[in-house]
């Protein structure tokens, strides 16, 4: 067994489900790669049926995030249905496995017609706002007959069905209607309270009675049930403290339940790959398996500053990274909470904002900066109707030092607008300022700072600033890696590599071998990005991409195009054109095998209004061109005069401005696939930590 809990191979009740991929080696021989597996045990269920129990599911690291775990779980269900198994369960499921099962089972139940009337009944109750305790509790659980037919037809057991029930109700509500949303929250709160009361009532009726025996007196007991004893009064069986404390704990439980519901709901709306999932035992194994990688992540995050704007002064919390209050970075503004209508669907970092109702210019200051180094700075903005004004648009300017960074225009209260900048520090501090332009009160949700090596991005210096239009990993079907922990686990500078869905006229190629960086590499693209590439299909000799800038960006473009040969003994040679101009000193380019390389223009390509990249194979090349990754920039104009002379603080004089945007004008459709996203705005990312 590869990397998993041992099983008794002599026991015929164990079954192993495998996900495999057929590939051809350079000699044309067929090779089968194992991508992942699931172990399942067949339990006898009295009197004459069988229950499938999932022991573990593991997808090997290079293939995670591509939906293979979903396929494994769906295959288990397929077998259960075809063989009329009683139901499917999981042994000690981890939180993520439960989440995965809930996503898949919710999707299956959505298409299951027999449960529609029961769903519609609850939805109608919530829409009408008729939330008396009698009605809420009578509709709190679905009819037993509905759960039984779901077990018979879909092999979903009762406990799992109840996990999906609230998600099914939420999916059928008008989530834009604040009344429906509030009624749903009250309904969930009543269900949570009922769960606690019912559990207390059951527990209070249990009595352990020791039974003498000839074996082990400490190991034998009988659970007896009392018919009338131990009535539970209130909800204090599992909630400690006084009434105020109990209410607070109940609210936390309700909040967590709502977050889980919305997370599963949003996941169900997106066609995306799922990541590795396992039982608690398997989680321990994976913890050992990834120990070295975890140590590397801790080393790579040294110097990271992660700010949650609007949380109390001197407070902090851990959510993959340690987030701190912004009070130590600014002395103006007020802390505000987003509206309760949005707080239940947002990640923790977006529950608060700092608002700046006073003053034309308000600044954050990062101190202890090392002049000469480059820093990545990320700012996020989620309105969440924090001021209860339901503003259709909030617009203000963001400055990096004296330079206009971006005009922030927030038009959706539930979307997070994210922008990044890389700057070369020229002083021992960096200022980020919000400028009130009279079109709404400036606010901010979060900010991050990442130190970078001074040798990176030679296009950036003390006199040049750039705007990033997009950064693409060209073949995400093979490797899915974006956002969350994977950002800084795989990219030590926490750059976000947007995933790219190939055009039908392209093929994807990949390798499991590490792609190396050479000593003079000025970009240090992660190997996981360079291990995939796209090539033209059907013997086509040209590969083309087009990009358009954001409104307000200058039409002076820079492009960094990344290549690494992934096929041994390949004969591949091509020209690289940028808006018709040859790069690489007008010479054909031949990528090295498993070595990362980059080509970029020294002078901006100006006056075109858009950027076109063309890769054209030479006549002598036996293979078409390939493309592993690409970054596209436009110029940001620097100024020598601060936007507000009253600032009085030293500032950075140059920056590489990067807007993490989803390109609508690119010739291909970009597919963003990370669990942390709920919805994606048209241009900028939402809910990025």
- Known catalytic residues? 91
CB-count exposure of residue 364 (10 Å: 0-12, 13-18, 19+): buried
Structure tokens at 5: 């809990």
Please say whether the beta carbons of 109 and 164 come within 8 A: yes
Alpha-carbon span 574 to 625, nearest angstrom: 6
Residues whose CB falls within 8 Å of the CB of residue 620, separated by 6 or more in sequence, listed in order: 573
Residue 88: how many other CB atoms lie within 10 Å: 24
Whole-angstrom Cα distance, residue 85 to residue 339? 47
Burial of 593 (0-12, 13-18, 19+ CB in 10 A): middle
CB 634 within 8 A of CB 557: yes
Exposure of 95 in the CB half-sphere (CA atoms within 13 A): 4
576 touches 641 (CB < 8 A)? no
- What residue spans of 453-612 are helical by DSSP H? 484-490, 527-530
Q: Which two tokens stand for residue 138?
A: 């009578």
3-state secondary structure of 477: coil
- Token pair of 310, please? 């609007």
Nearest CA-CA partner of 598 in 558, 549, 556: 558
3-state helix, strand, coil in the chain (%, to 5): 25, 30, 45
Buried b (16+ CB within 10 A) or exposed e, 561-572: bbbbbbbeebeb
Q: Rounded to an integer, what distance in angstroms lies between the CA atom of residue 378 and that of residue 418? A: 7
DSSP 129-148: T---HHHHHHTTS--HHHHH
Task: Please state, in angstroms and rounded to a whole number, the distance separating the CA atoms of residues 635 and 605.
Answer: 10
Q: Using CA atoms in the order 93, 99, 104, 110, what is the torsion angle rounded to 10 degrees?
A: 130
Nearest to 670 by CA among 684, 656, 658, 659: 684
Residue pair 180/173 in contact by the 8 Å Cβ criterion: yes
Outline where DSSP puts E strands in 25-48.
30-45
Tokens 């090779």 correspond to what residue? Answer: 31
Which residue, among 232, 101, 122, has the nearest Cα to 188 in the 3D structure? 122
User: Which helix H or strand E contains 59, and what residues bound it?
Assistant: strand 49-59
């Amino acid at each position: 067994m590869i990397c998993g809990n041992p099983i008794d191979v002599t026991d015929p009740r164990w079954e192993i489900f495998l996900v495999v991929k057929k590939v051809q080696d350079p000699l044309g021989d067929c090779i089968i790669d194992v991508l992942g597996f699931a172990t399942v045990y067949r339990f006898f269920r009295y009197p004459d049926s069988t229950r499938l129990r999932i022991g573990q599911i593991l997808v090997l690291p290079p293939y995670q995030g591509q939906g293979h775990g979903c396929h494994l779980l769906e295959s288990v269900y397929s077998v259960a249905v075809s063989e009329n198994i009683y139901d499917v369960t999981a042994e000690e499921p981890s939180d993520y496995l439960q989440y995965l099962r809930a996503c898949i089972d919710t999707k299956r139940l959505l298409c299951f017609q027999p449960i529609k009337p029961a769903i519609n009944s609850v939805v109608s109750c919530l829409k009408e706002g008729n939330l008396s305790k009698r009605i809420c509790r009578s509709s709190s659980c679905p009819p037993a007959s509905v759960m039984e037919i779901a077990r018979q037809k879909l092999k979903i057991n009762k406990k799992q069905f109840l996990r999906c029930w609230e998600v099914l109700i939420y999916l059928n509500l008008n989530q834009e209607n604040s009344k429906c949303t509030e009624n749903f929250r009250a309904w969930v709160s009543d269900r949570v309270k009922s769960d606690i009361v019912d559990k207390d009532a059951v527990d209070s009726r249990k009595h352990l009675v020791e039974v003498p025996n000839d074996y082990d007196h400490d190991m034998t007991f009988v659970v007896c049930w009392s018919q009338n004893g131990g009535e539970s009064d209130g909800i204090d069986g599992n909630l400690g403290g006084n009434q105020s404390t109990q209410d607070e704990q109940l609210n936390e439980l309700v909040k967590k339940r709502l977050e889980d519901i919305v997370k599963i709901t949003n996941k169900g709306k997106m066609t995306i790959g799922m990541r590795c999932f396992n039982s608690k035992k398997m989680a321990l194994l994976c913890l050992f398996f990834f120990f070295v990688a975890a140590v590397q992540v801790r080393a790579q995050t040294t110097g990271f500053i992660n700010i949650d704007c609007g949380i109390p002064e001197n407070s902090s919390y851990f959510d993959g990274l340690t987030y701190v209050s912004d009070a130590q970075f600014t002395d103006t503004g007020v802390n505000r909470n987003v509206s309760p209508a949005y707080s239940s669907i947002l990640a923790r970092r977006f529950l608060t904002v700092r608002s700046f109702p006073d003053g034309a210019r308000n600044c954050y200051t990062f101190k202890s900066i090392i002049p000469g180094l480059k820093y990545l700075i990320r700012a996020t903005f989620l309105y969440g109707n924090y001021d209860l004004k339901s503003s259709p648009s909030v617009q203000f300017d963001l400055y990096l030092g004296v330079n206009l960074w971006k005009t922030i225009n927030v038009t959706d209260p539930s979307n997070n607008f994210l922008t990044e900048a890389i700057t070369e520090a020229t002083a021992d501090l960096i200022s980020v300022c919000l400028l009130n332009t009279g079109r709404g009160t400036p606010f901010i949700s979060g900010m991050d700072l990442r130190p970078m090596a001074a040798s990176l991005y030679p296009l950036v210096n003390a006199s040049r600033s750039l705007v990033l239009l997009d950064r693409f990993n060209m073949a995400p079907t093979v490797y899915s890696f974006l956002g969350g922990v994977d950002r800084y686990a795989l990219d030590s500078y926490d750059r976000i590599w947007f995933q790219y869905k190939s055009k039908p006229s392209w093929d994807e190629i990949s390798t499991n071998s590490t792609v190396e960086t050479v000593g003079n590499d000025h970009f240090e693209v992660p190997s996981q990005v360079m291990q995939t590439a796209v090539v033209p299909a059907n013997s086509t000799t040209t590969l083309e991409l087009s990009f358009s800038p954001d409104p307000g960006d200058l039409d002076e473009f820079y492009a960094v195009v990344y290549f690494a040969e992934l096929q041994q003994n390949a004969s591949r040679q091509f020209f690289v054109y940028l808006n018709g101009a040859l790069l690489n000193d007008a010479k054909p380019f031949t990528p090295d095998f498993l070595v990362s390389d980059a080509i970029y223009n020294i002078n901006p390509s100006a006056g075109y209004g858009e950027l076109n990249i063309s890769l054209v194979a030479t006549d002598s090349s036996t293979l078409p061109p390939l493309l592993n990754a690409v970054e596209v920039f436009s110029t940001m104009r620097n100024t020598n005069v601060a936007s507000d002379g009253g600032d009085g603080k030293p500032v950075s004089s140059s920056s590489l401005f990067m807007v993490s945007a989803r390109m609508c004008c690119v010739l291909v459709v970009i597919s963003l696939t990370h669990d942390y996203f709920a919805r994606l705005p048209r241009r900028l990312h939402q809910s990025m930590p």
